[in-house]
Amino acid sequence: MSFEGLLTKESNVLTAKLAGEFDTDAASEFQKQLEEYDVNGIDKIVFDLSDVTFVASSGIRVFIVAKKRLITDMDVEVIGAKGIVLSIIQMSGVNSFINVVE
């Protein structure tokens, strides 16, 4: 399954709806898309992984960059992760500093 990433803004929340395999190539392209997005007025970014079937370490890095560098004063949340995707997130430890809602 190919990757799709869609950014939508509603009020002060930016939602990143991801689908497919969030592999190295997809993560690189989506990171660029996220960096180019105007985040003025955004208080929170939500990564919706309910349709993600795989996440590589480079995909995890996108969440970390969003929290640490790109959007330092915003809440970052991951929702909808399940199965192997949730396991990878938990094993990476990213859930210790990013809110992961199962």
User: What is the per-residue pLDDT for 71?
Assistant: 59
User: What is the per-residue pLDDT for 73?
Assistant: 73
User: What is the per-residue pLDDT for 31?
Assistant: 93
Distances from the Cα of 81 to the Cαs of 4, 13, 38, 41, 69, in angstroms?
16, 19, 26, 26, 23
1: confidence class by pLDDT, cuts 50, 70, 90: low
* pLDDT digit string, tens, across residues 87-97: 999 999 999 98
> 24: domain range?
4-101
| Domain CATH for 30 | 3.30.750.24
d(CA 62, CA 40): 19
Number of domains in the chain: 1
* pLDDT digit string, tens, across residues 35-87: 888 888 888 999 999 999 999 999 999 999 888 866 567 889 999 999 999 99
101: confidence class by pLDDT, cuts 50, 70, 90: very high
* pLDDT digit string, tens, across residues 15-32: 999 999 999 999 999 999
d(CA 61, CA 50): 18
pTM of the model: 0.92
